[in-house]
Amino acid sequence: MALSHAIMTALLEDDMSGYELAKAFDISLGLFWRASHQQIYQELHKLADRGWLQRETVAQAGKPDKIVYALTGAGRSAMAEWVMGNSRVQEGKDDLFVKLYNLAESNAAHLAMEIGQRREQMMQRLYLYEKIRRRHYADPTALPVRRKGVFLALLAGIRQGEHFLAWCDEAQAILATVDGKETDGG
């Protein structure tokens, strides 16, 4: 498993608390690896026990204390080793594609609607991606090495999103020809 490695990756540059990690996952790495706060907290305990992370309690004014985690030397070595190993892919699972195998006149309109929703979600995500890209990765050749990797991941997300939008349009066009009922006031 590699939630542990995703967490440690997020801690490469900034030390963070579990709460902050959960937030970071929602916008940055979380685009490629989704994790709930419950999972993160439990993983943090394991990683601290294994000696890959160090915990430090930080008092805050007007807010509860937080427990900030930092990579240890052992943690960094473990990461370096992990990068050199074989990658694992966990293919996504999407009801929508399975549903398409069940296409019929009775559900074509519904599926077109769901695809429309997905399109909308993807548009918003792409908007965020592009904002990040323009702000931090406008000139990829000028980036420090590690940042080039982050850029490549971002680029994969953007490309995939763009392809998905195009597919949504195609799919909706075809579904429109299938739809059983016509709604143009005839």
Q: Which does 20 bind (CB under 5 to 8 A by kind): a second copy, DNA, none?
A: DNA
Q: Which does 70 bind (CB under 5 to 8 A by kind): DNA, a second copy, none?
A: none
- How near is the Cβ of 51 to a second copy at its closest, in Å? 19
Q: Residue 131 corresponds to which tokens in the numbers above?
A: 């904002």
Q: Which is nearer to DNA, 45 or 131 (CB)?
A: 45
Q: Does 15 bind a second copy (CB under 8 A)?
A: no
CA dihedral for 179, 122, 149, 3, sign (positive or negative): negative
Residue 91 neighbours by CB under 8 Å, 6+ apart: none
Helix or strand or coil: residue 38? helix
Burial of 141 from C-beta contacts in 10 A (0-12 / 13-18 / 19+): exposed
- How near is the Cβ of 80 to DNA at its closest, in Å? 20
Q: Does 70 bind a second copy (CB under 8 A)?
A: no
Burial of 173 from C-beta contacts in 10 A (0-12 / 13-18 / 19+): exposed
**At 91, which amino acid appears?**
E
Q: Which does 110 bind (CB under 5 to 8 A by kind): a second copy, DNA, none?
A: a second copy
Q: Which is nearer to DNA, 93 or 181 (CB)?
A: 93
Q: Does 100 bind a second copy (CB under 8 A)?
A: yes
Phi, psi of 106 (to 5 degrees): -70, -20
Nearest to residue 102, comparing CAs of 93, 110, 91? 110
Q: Does 42 bind a second copy (CB under 8 A)?
A: no
Per CB under 8 A, residues contacting a second copy are 2, 5-6, 9, 12, 29, 32-34, 79-80, 82-84, 86-108, 110-111, 114, 140-141, 145-146, 148-153, 155-156, 159-160, 162-164, 166-167, 170-171, 174-175, 177-178
